[in-house]
């Protein structure tokens, strides 16, 4: 990752609010993006945020 890029923790927070379809597209952009999306902690954070957006429904 380059020094002038967005810090990893900020990227994770931004990604955690995006739709899953967008995240799957981002996996193709770089190894960095792919590694974030595949982290178990990120998956949990994304599911938690998705649940908040959809009123607790994780299947919507």
Query: Is there a domain that residue 14 lies in?
Result: no
| Residue range of the domain that includes 51 | 30-55
Q: Judge whether residue 58 has pLDDT over 80.
A: no
Q: pLDDT digits over 7-57, tens only?
A: 999 999 999 999 999 999 989 999 999 999 999 999 999 999 988 877 766
Query: Is there a domain that residue 20 lies in?
Result: no
Query: Is there a domain that residue 8 lies in?
Result: no
Query: Is there a domain that residue 47 lies in?
Result: yes
Query: Is there a domain that residue 45 lies in?
Result: yes
Query: Is there a domain that residue 40 lies in?
Result: yes
Total number of domains constituting the chain: 1
DSSP letters, 10-39, are HHHHHHTTS-HHHHHHHTTT-HHHHHHHH-
Task: Output the pLDDT for position 54.
Answer: 73
Task: Output the pLDDT for position 52.
Answer: 84
Tell me if residue 4 falls in helix, strand or coil.
coil
Query: Is there a domain that residue 42 lies in?
Result: yes
């Amino acid at each position: 990752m380059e020094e002038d890029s967005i810090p990893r923790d900020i990227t994770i927070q931004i990604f955690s609010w995006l739709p899953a379809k967008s995240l799957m597209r981002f996996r193709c952009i770089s190894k960095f993006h792919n590694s974030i999306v595949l982290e178990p902690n990120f998956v949990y954070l994304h599911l938690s945020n998705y649940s908040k957006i959809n009123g607790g429904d994780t299947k919507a």
